Each structure stands twice: as structure tokens, then as C-alpha cells.
Structure 1
């Protein structure tokens, strides 16, 4: 197998087309997670325009592309999945049945270690027995929106009944409810960013929109539109006023739920939940397969999901002093976090601490 490494801007049009074809064929080949938009060439190209060190490995068989691995390489040869921390799907996009040698791949990429936090399923050559699995809830809409509503009525009847009632009340009290699935107004995107930043501060979380490269990435993706990929901004309006919005990438079959937020002045109507139902309806109408709500626990995800995918966190490495140092540093942090998440009393206490810090920050 021949492995070459490229800067995203140097990837040929033929290679990009081959990458897209592998993604398009993935669902019918039994690997639907490979169709995730975070694994698309458009996402890798956009990240490459926003950050240095982004590279793409191309694996060829008989001169033809068989797989693509986007990654971020540090000067010391430490590799990370591109968009680590903000991408909800990572891994090697490959043809069905391909087997590769992880150490050989790392060596060709000039890496001593390669880290993931959302490694998708069926990446067995990367499996070293130490990966930590996580659930990634999804909303299946491949059978149509009405079929999805029937599932919700069976599994979350109170949630659905309450959400639909709040939507009707919102229409009576705040003006006609209107949903735009593909909003092209840049001002609506800026409004969403302000809401999301305020939410991060309010809950004591790190503000991703305070990072210039993420702001630029979102803007790049908003203006990226091909036949197989787009950055999708969806907005819920009450009258002429936007009250909830979501931005995330989509392929032909998968919509990734990435940055949702709403106007806190309308919180009593649960506009974020109404928005997600409208997104599911529009995705079904577009003949998509599912919405990926992403790794992480949340009550609304439990209420809306139809099933869960599995993603994994960990790293693969080859014998090298840099890899050993990276492993020692990351393993201790991961063990501490795992201990907190595994014990509800510690997890709840940490969440209260974050929220208290957010309130203090807001007052200051």
C-alpha cells in the first residue's frame, strides 16, 4: 500500500472526488458513520484554511485512492484528529473491507502518536484495547417524520406532548412560528454566535466562540456548499424575531447537530426543543438518514433519540520517546476525568461548580 501526505490545498480534484464517493457509498456498504460531515473533505479543507499543521494522508492501492485520513500534526510529531474537541466524528474514511497497519500509517505521516476523542466504529486497526467508548445519540428519520413522531409518542409521550403544546403557546403569545431550514442571512449566524457565547459563560463552560479559529471555521463552513456537503444554518422565528437557531454541517445522509442555542427571553417555550423537531422534519423531507446529536449526556437527547452510535476516545502510538511522554500526560488527565464522570455525586458537584463560576463571571 502506498501512503502519501498532503496539505489540504494540494489535494487533487480527483482525490477529493474519490473521497466524496467513498462517503456516498458508505451507508449502503454498512458503514453509515463514515458518511458523517465531519469526515468530509470539505470539513478538512475548511479546517486547513483556519489552522496550520493540518495534513491529509492518502492510502492508495494499485494507484487508486482507498482511504483518507485527515489529521493535525505538531512540530514534535504528535498527531490529533482535525477539529479535536469540536468535531463529532473522526477516523479513516476507507473502502469496504480495507485493512491497514496503524504503526505503518503513523510512520508514513511522521507521527509518534495519534489521538482521537470521537473515533467512529469499524476502525479496528487502531484498536489497542485501551479505548474509552462513548454514546452518541441519533435521531433516525429515514422512515419519515411521522414514523419518528410515532416512536416519540411511544418512548417519550410526555416530552412530545409538552413540546408541541409549548410550540402552540409560543405562536399565540409571540407571533406566528416560522422555521427556515437553510437560512442564508449572515446576521442570523452572528446572532447564534452571541447566544452560544452567552450560554457558555452562563454555564461556566469554555467559550468556543472566543477562539478565533473556531469563529473563522464556522464562517468558512457557512459559505461552503457542494452537491454533497453544506454548512446548514436553521432558524426558528416567532413573528419576525429569531428565537432559536442551529448551525452544523451536513452530507446527503447525515446532519450533525453542532451549535444549537436560543434567546433566553423565550426559555419558557423550550424553543430549542421545538427547533430540533423542525430540523428532524426537514431532514426527513430531504430524504436524510439521521441527525447525529453528538457525544455527551443531556436530558433532551435522551428524550429525542431513537438509538445510539458509539464513538471512542484514546490514542494509537508507535515506540517513540515523544509518544511515551504524551501517553503519561494524557493518561493521568483521562483517569481523573473518568473518575469524576463515573460517580454521579462528583459529576453533579462539578456541574454546580461550573454554573456557579458562570454566574460569578456574568456578574463581574
Structure 2
């Protein structure tokens, strides 16, 4: 096998078409985060982005998007943002992960959302569920399942939607919004959420903000940004920005105006989004890894992703182990224990309240 490493901007039309062909041939790879367009757009704002192109003779049999950082540290493209990571490859391809790492100039590759069926998954890793909404039989079939598994949620959300309209006016839902002003409103809500809950504001990083704005304008048959908003009396209440393929919508940035919190606007928006998405041909909404109450209420099943690292015996890999692995193990211990997780979440929210009060 021959491996060539290029920057995403160096990919030609024939390479991107082959990438898409390989992706479409395997339903397990149907995530917009694994689409060539996502890597190419990321490459416009991340100079460290790379793609390893795998050849078997004259034929391209795989693509491995990654970022190469100092000391040979490798991470997924747009690390920290992606809910699906890994190679896009022919089903019968055999890959030596260590040979791939060497060809990419990496001592270690760290991941947290590597698809469970990937040939790169090492022996030592942890598995995590990624909740999904199955729309393959349409929205009505989904709501029937939801009524059975989470009937209280469905009924209370419908009631709160009616009450929201009685209190404030007619509810309007717009799917496939391209207005950047609407996106700014959503991102402002999300920034406020990050600060309230003690999390790092992702949109304080210019490259992330630029990437999201660029992706809003992406609208092809196989890949695009997906922004939708709900309004009452023309006032924005809640929204979501994600990415899609032709048949999968990846949940990414949901947020709402906290002035309407008692009406559960996030749940109202997600159900409205599922209905419009199903009508547009979406068969699966992947809400992404993470312990969130709304995901548990809305899901019909789960996909699986893995967390861990692939390492070669290099000084950079050794340094990475000292710095990152103990922290990841401690984080994993907290997330796996409900009491520790709730305590940590409370501490972050308390920190967020203090930080918000100081800033104001």
C-alpha cells in the first residue's frame, strides 16, 4: 500500500469524487463530519489539516483526514467539534495503523469520537453511545415510537408548545435558514450557555466562528449546513445549526433564549426539526455523544464511538502520554459515575454563575 499525505486544498475533483463514492458505499460512514467537504472547509481555516490518501496499486482505497501538531501529535480534523472521526475506506481494505501513523509523520493519534467499526480502533479503548433519532420510516412513525418510550415527554412538549403560543403568539418554524443574522442569534445564545455552565466558549476561537459561518453557505446534494429556527410572534425562541449529508443530519449547536426556558423550547425545536428533516429526506439524526437529558428523551437508539489513542514509540508520544492520558482517565472516571458527574456539573455551573456575575 502506498500513502500520500496532502493538505485538503490539494485534493482534486477526482479525489473528492472517489472519497464520496467510498463514503456512499458504506452506511456506517454516512456522517457529514466524514464528508470531503467538511475536511476541505476545515483546511481553509486550519493550516495543520492533512489528508492521507491510501493507494492499492493505482486505485485509491481510503482517505484519512487528520491534523498534525508539533512533536508529531495527531488529532482528528477540527478536533473538539466532530462527532464522527476516522477513515473513509473501501470495505475490504487492510490497514496497519502504525504504518499509517508513520507515513503521516505522527507519533500518536488521539481521538474521542472514532467510529467503533473503524480499522484504526486499537485494542485498548473505551466505547461510548451516540444517541440517534431514526426517521427511516418517516416522522409519524418516529412519533409513535416516542409516544411508547417517552410518552410523557411527547405530551408535555405538545402542551408547552400550545401554551407558548397562547402566551406569546403564533409559532413559526423555518428549516434550511441561510440568514447569517439568525446564525449570529443562535451563536450568541450558545456563547451565553457556555458561560452560564462554566464551559469554554468555542466561538471565542476565530477559526471556529469562521468555519461555522462558511458551512452555513454550504448547500450541495451530498453535504450542507443546516440551520433552523422557531419563532413566536416573529421573535426567535430556539434554533439549531448542524451539518447534513443527503440522509443524515448531525446535531451540533442547539440553543435557545433562556427567557422562554419554562416552555422547553429546545424540545419543541427538535421535534419541529425532525418533522421537516424527515420531509427533506433525512433518515437519521445523530445527536452526538454526551450525557444530555434531551437526548435521552428523544432518542430511538444509539450508535457507538470510541475514545483512546494510537501511539508509536517516539519522544512526542511519550510526552503526550504524560500530559494527556492521566487527565483523560480522570475525566472518564467522572463521566462514568453519575454522582461524580453531577457534582462536577454543579461545580461548573457555580463557576459559570460567578464568572457571569463578575463580567456583568
Cα deviation, residue 227, structure 1: 1.9
1:299 aligns with 2:293: yes
**Which of residues 43, 51, 54 is equivalent to 1:56?**
51
Superposed counterparts of 1:106-121, under 5 Å: 106-121=101-116
Cα deviation, residue 240, structure 1: 1.1
1:225 aligns with 2:222: no
Equivalence for 2:146:
152
Q: Which runs of 5+ in 1 are unaligned?
A: none
1:343 aligns with 2:337: yes
- Helix, strand or coil at the partner of 2:50: strand
1:188 aligns with 2:185: no
Equivalence for 2:78:
83
1:129 aligns with 2:115: no
**Which of residues 310, 322, 326 is equivalent to 2:320?**
326
Instruction: Name the TM-score, length of structure 2 as normaliser.
Output: 0.97
Equivalence for 2:255:
261
Cα deviation, residue 328, structure 1: 2.8
Equivalence for 2:7:
7
Q: Give me the CA root mean square deviation.
A: 1.1
- Tell me how far apart the structure 1 counterparts of residues 338 and 279 of structure 2 sit (CA, whole Å): 39
- Tell me how far apart the structure 2 counterparts of residues 24 and 92 of structure 1 sit (CA, whole Å): 13
Equivalence for 1:99:
94
Q: Which runs of 5+ in 2 are unaligned?
A: none
- Tell me how far apart the structure 2 counterparts of residues 97 and 286 of structure 1 sit (CA, whole Å): 32
Superposed counterparts of 1:158-177, under 5 Å: 158-177=152-171
**Which of residues 335, 354, 359 is equivalent to 1:360?**
354
- Tell me how far apart the structure 1 counterparts of residues 329 and 109 of structure 2 sit (CA, whole Å): 19
- Helix, strand or coil at the partner of 2:111: strand
Cα deviation, residue 187, structure 1: 0.2
How many residue pairs match? The answer is 358
Cα deviation, residue 45, structure 1: 0.9
Cα deviation, residue 339, structure 1: 2.1
- Tell me how far apart the structure 2 counterparts of residues 201 and 238 of structure 1 sit (CA, whole Å): 26
Cα deviation, 1:91-114, whole Å, max 9, x if unaligned, reads: 001112221110111111111111
Deviates more, 1:278-287 or 1:35-44: 278-287
Instruction: Name the TM-score, length of structure 1 as normaliser.
Output: 0.96
- Tell me how far apart the structure 2 counterparts of residues 71 and 267 of structure 1 sit (CA, whole Å): 38
- Tell me how far apart the structure 1 counterparts of residues 211 and 121 of structure 2 sit (CA, whole Å): 30
Deviates more, 1:61-70 or 1:109-118: 61-70
Instruction: Please tell me whether the aligned partners of residues 138 and 283 of structure 2 are also in contact (alpha carbons under 8 angstroms).
Output: no
Deviates more, 1:217-226 or 1:248-257: 217-226
Equivalence for 1:69:
64
Cα deviation, residue 70, structure 1: 0.6
